[in-house]
């Protein structure tokens, strides 16, 4: 019995993982100036941020169509006996719900859709875990149970240049408490259990980067660590460097926040993904 | 109030609860009459001296509560009511210490039906003991010293004298000498050429009770006393749509105080009417001070009038009642933050970061009750209070014991320190962790305040002439200059500019955005690369408050 793995384009999969396990990636969509782009397929991350910094209009994002998931699942089922699909947090997007309905319509017995409750690199960790366990021959129900255990230990901290994009996209949630500040501050927020929540405000970018590292270090023992950015490679490299110094035994994964996540975070985001040790 | 006649009064060895009540009411009126003069005894020649106002409002809270106390009440009960009301009404450090003096006074008299020379002396001594306990680092040359020497003198007198009047006479003499000696104990007082204001406030209270005990009326005293403040201040009846804090003193009032109060309540709010037909003090916040005064003229002899335009406070107050942005968002944390701030801009800065704002600051310190009300209506179980003024710290600390909420005070002496503390607030952390982080952050912020000197003085080795702009760096006067800009620039010399990440200029009600931008340009000229932000603070009296982070 073989198990295939699917995900969506917000997983920010590292190339090595794609090459090794070949998970299916279903793209979300970005609508911009009356054009529809498939995330990361019709619109590259680099092109997206170039346009975002200059464009007067703002993009909007949408979940993949049910048909897109159905096609992906059918293809997987031609090669595998079962499929595990790990998707963007249901609290942030309708993607999980669309995937779940597509699974219902294709084959609810063989397709298992898991809510990652997170974004970006953190999803890619779950994808990698699912693919690795599948390769080891672990039963599909056991894989789902392990993913559900691991997702509770995922943490994301993100330092934003501005809350404007999150507000416009309606994904601000409880982090609204950080909004409307009269002073120019850099908000730090968290994604945890599928929800965006406020953490802190810091006055300048330099102190905010430092603070981001402090907040990670304060989390306790860590199993996996990753740094991602939305067109802020220098700041991300600095955070990664500082984290590496704190955790010499860990590999600090790096990732770019793609167009869909970038639409909501805006340019300049530096994020840290953490999988807490058990 | 029942004022005993002269000789009979002086020979009294025993007084009832009703007598003590009358004495307290007399003291309240007398303190009120002296409050402006006490305000002026500020070490710093800044226009926000408020010890007299704070003590007077605190004592007035006690007097107001006493009016409902039966004449059959024991002296123990009268003293307890006075203490409890003063504790709730306490404003500023001096108000809190005054409430502690009353606490000691009432504890000593708790079991007493009548006041006698020995128990009065013991109560005055105990007042001082309790007040010393309430202050973490008691300093000599302050109200504490005056209270202690007053208590000592009363006890010494009670050993040989049996009349209340004799004990009080010794007490008031000791108080007067103690106040006069305060400049020899505190260098700052000597340099500023003033006596300690809190000590003087206490002396005034003791003096009032002594005068009462000798049968002298307060009015006679007011007329003969060299210190009594100017009776009339200008009446403003501007076209403002905001309220006026209206106070007047009415002699030979033809209407009972209770009815005057009812009438005033129809005109506005915050009504206080204390005293009796001989001398009635009325306080009301109203949109129509003219109507209040007209009523006064119709019902007695108007002795003294004071009307303050409360436009600023009121605008800010109205804004404070507006729902904060994102009010529909559920609380992100179990810990709430309450910030004390004066000036609409400052209030907005705190509100925009999720804090609940209690209006007040340099010119008007909030009472324990003001902060308590904000705590109780906050919706949070645990709260952190940012006093943002060293004179509000004690008031804020008293809130915790009066509420089921867990209340912690992060000591912030300036608004920038408060902002710095609030910036360090972590939504995911618990109370203790936040308190520690916020205290740390508050200490990392330095503050420059600029205000105009109201008189000549030498403060912190700086000679200041009336009218000059003073630059105050972390509470110390470091510069006296002709322009506000220069005061900021000179004060900045005391900071480690190269270590600064960001400088925020908050401009006050008397300055404009253009003024602040011009100052920012001058700062950038002298310190290229400095990160400068300009924000409207709206604070009274201080054209610029500058935060150095």
The CATH code of the domain that includes B49 is 1.25.40.340
Q: What is the mean pLDDT of residues A34-57?
A: 91
Query: Nearest C-alpha of chain B: how many angstroms from A184?
Result: 8
Give yes or no: residues B133 and B282 share one domain: no
Do B208 and B248 belong to one domain? no
Say if residue B166 is in the same domain as residue B203.
yes
Q: pLDDT (tens digit, 0 to 9) for every residue of chain B, 549 residues total?
A: 444 456 777 889 999 999 999 999 999 998 988 888 888 777 666 655 578 888 999 999 999 999 989 999 999 999 999 999 998 888 888 888 999 999 999 999 999 999 999 999 999 999 999 999 877 778 899 999 999 999 999 999 999 999 999 999 999 999 988 988 888 888 878 777 778 899 999 999 999 999 888 887 665 555 444 333 222 222 222 223 346 777 777 778 888 877 887 888 788 766 666 666 666 777 777 777 788 888 888 888 877 676 766 554 444 433 433 333 333 334 445 799 999 998 888 999 998 888 999 988 666 789 998 999 999 888 888 999 999 998 899 899 989 988 888 999 999 999 999 999 999 898 888 999 999 999 999 999 999 999 999 888 888 888 999 899 999 999 999 999 999 999 999 999 999 988 888 999 999 998 999 999 999 999 999 888 888 999 999 998 899 999 999
Q: Is A138 exposed, middle or buried (0-12, 13-18, 19+ CB in 10 A)?
A: middle
- Contact predicate A146/A129, CB 8 Å: yes
Residues near B492 by beta carbon (within 8 Å), at least 6 away in sequence: B448, B523, B526, B527, B546, B548
Whether residues B365 and B490 share a domain: the answer is no
Where does a domain end: B286, B309, B332? Answer: B309
Cα end-to-end span (Å), chain B: 56
| Partner-chain residue, chosen from A181, A198, A206, that has the shortest CB–CB distance to B501 | A206
Q: Report how far Cα A4 is from the mean position of its chain's Cα atoms.
A: 20
What confidence score (pLDDT) does residue B347 get? 92
How far is B79 from B106, CA to CA, in rounded Å? 5
Contacts of B356 in chain A (CB under 8 A): none
> What pLDDT is recorded for position B416?
95
Q: At B504, which CATH number?
A: 3.30.1180.20
Three-state DSSP state, A234:
helix
DSSP structural state of residue B330: P
Distance between CA A165 and CA A189 in Å, rounded?
Answer: 14
User: Are residues B215 and B123 both part of a single domain?
Assistant: yes
Contact A198 B427 (CB under 8 A): yes
> Rounded to whole angstroms, how far apart are CA atoms B355 and B302?
44
Spatial neighbors of B394 by CB under 8 A, at least 6 apart, are B92, B93, B96, B97, B134
Q: B236: burial class by Cβ within 10 Å (0-12, 13-18, 19+)?
A: exposed
Across B154-300, the runs of DSSP E, i.e. the strands, are 244-251, 268-275, 279-286
B238 part of a folded domain: no
Q: Are residues B218 and B341 in the same domain?
A: no
* Same-domain pairing of B468 and B543: yes
Report the alpha-carbon distance of residue B271 to residue B266 in Å, rounded: 10
> Residue B265 maps to which CATH number?
3.30.70
Mention every residue, 6+ apart, whose C-beta is less than 8 A from residue B490.
Answer: B471, B478, B479, B481
Residue B398 main-chain phi, psi, to 5 deg: -80, -10
A154-276: CATH topology is Hypothetical Protein Tm841; Chain: A;domain 3 (3.30.1180)
Tell whether B549 lies on the interface with A, counting CB pairs under 8 A.
yes
Q: Does B269 touch chain A (CB under 8 A)?
A: no
Q: How close is the nearest chain A Cα to the Cα of B427, in Å? A: 5
Strands B476-481 and B469-473 turn out to be antiparallel
User: Which pLDDT value is given to residue B321?
Assistant: 35
Distance CA(A207)–CA(B417), nearest Å, equals: 17
Range B172-192 burial, b when 16+ CB lie within 10 A, else e? bbbbbebbebbbebbeebebb
Q: Which residues on neighbouring strands pair with residue B304, listed in sequence order?
A: B249
pLDDT of B48 reads 57
pLDDT at B362: 62
Q: Which of B425, B427, B504 sits opposite A183 (nearest CB)?
A: B504
CB-based contacts of B107, cutoff 8 Å, min separation 6 = B126, B130
Does residue B264 share a domain with residue B324? no
Element (H, E) at B154: helix B143-160
DSSP state, residue B367:
B
Bigger pLDDT: A167 or B201?
Answer: B201
Same domain, B80 and B193: yes
Q: Do B326 and A176 touch (CB under 8 A)?
A: yes
Rounded Cα gap, residues B183 and B193, in angstroms: 8
Closest A-chain CA to B537 = A182
Q: Residue length, chain A?
A: 278
Q: If interface means Cβ-Cβ distance under 8 Å, which residues of chain A face chain B? A: 174-177, 179-185, 190, 197-204, 206-207
How many Cβ atoms are within 10 Å of B232's Cβ, its own excluded?
10
Domain membership of residue B525 as a residue range = 446-548
* C-alpha to C-alpha distances, A233 to A12, A190, A238, nearest whole angstrom: 15, 20, 9
| Residue B446, both tokens | 């330095």
Which of these CATH numbers, 3.40.50.720, 3.30.365.10, 3.40.50.10170, 3.10.560.10, describes A3-28+63-151? 3.40.50.10170
Q: What residues of A are in contact with residue B332 (Cβ under 8 Å)?
A: 174-175, 177, 197-198
Q: Are B194 and B250 members of one domain?
A: no
Q: ipTM for the complex?
A: 0.77
**Would you say residue B416 lies in a domain?**
no
Closest C-alpha among B144, B17, B27 to residue B86: B27
Predicted local distance difference test score (pLDDT) of residue B363: 64
Instruction: Give the model's pLDDT for residue B155.
Output: 96
* Separation CA B7–CA B9 (nearest Å): 5
Mean residue pLDDT of chain A comes to 92
d(CA B85, CA B99): 9
The pLDDT assigned to B222 comes to: 52
**In this complex, do B332 and A180 lie within 8 Å of one another by their Cβ atoms?**
no
Question: How would you class B72 by CB atoms within 10 Å of its CB: exposed for 0-12, middle for 13-18, buried for 19 or more?
Answer: exposed
Q: List CB contacts (< 8 A) between B504 and chain A.
A: 183
Does B323 contact A at CB distance below 8 Å? no
CA angle A137, A141, A147 (to 5 degrees): 90
User: Taking CB atoms and an 8 Å limit, are A184 and B329 in contact across chains?
Assistant: no
Note whether B68 contacts A: Cβ–Cβ < 8 A: no
**Quick check: is B230 in a domain?**
no
Does any CB of chain A come closer than 8 Å to the CB of residue B444? no
Question: What is the reported pLDDT for B318?
Answer: 37
Decide: helix, strand or coil at residue A89. Answer: coil
Contacts 24+ apart (CB under 8 A), B167-170: B167/B117, B167/B120, B167/B121, B168/B120, B168/B206, B168/B209, B168/B210, B168/B213, B169/B210, B169/B214
Q: Give residue limits of the domains in chain A.
A: 3-28+63-151, 154-276
Residue B438 contacts A where some CB pair is shorter than 8 Å: no
Rounded distance, CA B49 to CA B338, Å? 24
Same domain, B70 and B52: yes
Domain of B387: which CATH number?
3.40.50.510
Please indicate whether, in this complex, the C-beta atoms of A200 and B424 are within 8 angstroms of each other.
Answer: yes
* Residue B251 backbone phi and psi in degrees, to 5: -105, 150
pLDDT for A9 beyond 80: yes
Tokens of B52: 């007299």
Structure tokens at A261: 């996540």
Note whether B198 and B286 are same-domain residues.
Answer: no
Asked if the Cβ–Cβ distance from A174 to B330 is below 8 Å, we say: yes
B521 and chain A: CB distance < 8 Å anywhere?
no
A vs B, Cβ pairs < 8 A, gives 60
CA distance A214 to chain B (A): 12
């Amino acid at each position: 019995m073989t198990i295939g793995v699917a995900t969506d384009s917000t997983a920010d999969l590292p190339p090595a993982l794609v090459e090794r396990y070949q998970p299916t990636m279903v793209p979300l969509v970005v609508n911009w100036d009356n054009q529809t782009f498939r995330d990361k397929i019709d619109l590259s991350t680099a092109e997206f941020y170039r346009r975002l910094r200059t464009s007067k209009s703002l993009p909007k994002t949408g979940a993949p169509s049910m048909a897109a998931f159905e096609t992906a699942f059918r293809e997987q089922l031609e090669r595998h006996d079962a499929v595990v699909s790990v998707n963007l947090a249901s609290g942030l997007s309708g993607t999980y719900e669309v995937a779940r309905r597509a699974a219902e319509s294709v084959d609810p017995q063989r397709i298992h859709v898991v809510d990652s409750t997170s974004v970006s690199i953190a999803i890619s960790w779950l994808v990698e875990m699912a693919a690795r366990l599948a390769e080891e021959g672990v039963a599909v129900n056991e894989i789902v149970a392990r993913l559900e255990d691991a997702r509770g230990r995922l943490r994301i901290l993100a330092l934003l240049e501005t809350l404007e994009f999150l507000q416009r996209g309606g994904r601000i949630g409880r982090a609204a408490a950080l909004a409307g500040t009269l002073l120019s501050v850099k908000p730090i927020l968290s994604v945890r259990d599928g929800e965006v929540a406020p953490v802190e405000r810091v006055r300048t970018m330099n102190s905010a980067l430092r603070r981001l590292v402090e907040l990670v270090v304060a989390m306790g023992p860590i199993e996996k660590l990753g740094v991602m950015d939305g067109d802020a490679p220098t700041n991300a490299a600095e955070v990664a460097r500082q984290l590496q110094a704190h955790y010499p035994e860990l590999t600090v994964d790096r990732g770019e926040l793609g167009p869909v996540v970038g639409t909501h975070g805006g340019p300049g985001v530096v994020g840290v993904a953490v999988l807490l040790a058990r | 109030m029942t004022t005993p006649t002269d000789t009979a009064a002086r020979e009294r060895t025993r007084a009832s609860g009703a007598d003590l009540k009358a004495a307290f009411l007399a003291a309240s009126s007398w303190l009120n009459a002296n409050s402006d003069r006490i305000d002026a005894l500020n070490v710093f020649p800044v226009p926000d001296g408020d010890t007299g106002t704070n003590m007077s409002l605190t004592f007035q809270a006690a007097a107001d509560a006493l009016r409902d106390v039966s004449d059959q009440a024991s002296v123990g009960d009268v003293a307890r009511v006075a203490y409890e009301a003063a504790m709730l009404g306490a404003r500023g450090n001096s108000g809190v210490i005054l409430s502690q003096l009353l606490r000691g006074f009432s504890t000593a008299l708790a079991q007493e039906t009548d006041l006698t020379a020995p128990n009065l002396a013991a109560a005055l001594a105990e007042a001082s003991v309790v007040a010393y306990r309430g202050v973490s680092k008691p300093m000599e040359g302050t109200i504490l010293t005056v209270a202690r020497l007053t208590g000592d003198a009363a006890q010494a007198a009670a050993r040989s004298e049996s009349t209340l009047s004799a004990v009080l006479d010794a007490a008031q003499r000791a108080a007067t000498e103690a106040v006069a000696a305060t400049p020899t104990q505190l260098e700052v007082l000597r340099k500023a050429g003033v006596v300690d204001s809190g000590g003087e406030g206490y002396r005034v209270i003791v003096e009032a009770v002594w005068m009462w005990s000798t049968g002298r009326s307060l009015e006679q005293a007011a007329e003969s006393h060299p210190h009594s403040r100017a009776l009339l201040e200008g009446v403003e009846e501007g076209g403002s749509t905001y309220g006026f804090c209206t106070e007047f003193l009415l002699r030979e009032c033809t209407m009972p105080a209770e009815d005057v109060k009812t009438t005033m309540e129809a005109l506005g709010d915050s009504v206080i009417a204390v005293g009796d037909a001989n001398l009635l003090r009325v306080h009301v916040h109203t949109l129509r001070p003219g109507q209040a005064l007209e009523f006064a003229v119709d019902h007695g002899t108007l002795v003294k009038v004071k009307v303050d335009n409360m436009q600023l406070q009121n605008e800010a107050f109205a804004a404070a009642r507006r729902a904060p942005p994102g009010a529909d968002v559920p609380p992100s944390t179990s810990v709430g933050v309450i910030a004390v701030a004066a000036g609409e801009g400052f209030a907005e800065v705190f509100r925009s970061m999720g804090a609940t704002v209690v209006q007040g600051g340099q010119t008007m310190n909030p009472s324990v009750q003001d902060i308590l009300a904000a705590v109780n209506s906050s919706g949070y179980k645990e709260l952190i209070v940012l006093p943002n003024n060293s004179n509000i710290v004690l008031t804020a600390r008293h809130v915790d014991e009066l509420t089921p909420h867990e209340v912690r005070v992060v000591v912030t002496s300036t608004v920038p320190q408060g902002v710095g503390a609030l910036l360090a607030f972590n939504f995911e952390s618990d109370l203790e962790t936040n308190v520690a982080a916020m205290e740390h952050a508050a200490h990392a912020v330095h503050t420059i305040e600029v205000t105009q000197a109201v008189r000549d003085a030498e403060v912190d080795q700086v000679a200041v002439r009336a009218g000059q702009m003073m630059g105050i760096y972390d509470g110390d006067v470091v510069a006296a200059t002709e322009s506000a800009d220069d005061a900021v620039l000179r004060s900045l010399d005391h900071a480690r500019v190269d270590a600064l990440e960001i400088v925020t200029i908050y401009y006050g009600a008397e300055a404009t955005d253009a003024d602040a931008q011009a100052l920012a340009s001058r700062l950038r000229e002298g310190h290229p690369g400095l990160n400068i932000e300009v924000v409207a603070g709206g604070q009274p009296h201080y054209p610029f408050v500058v935060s150095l982070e």
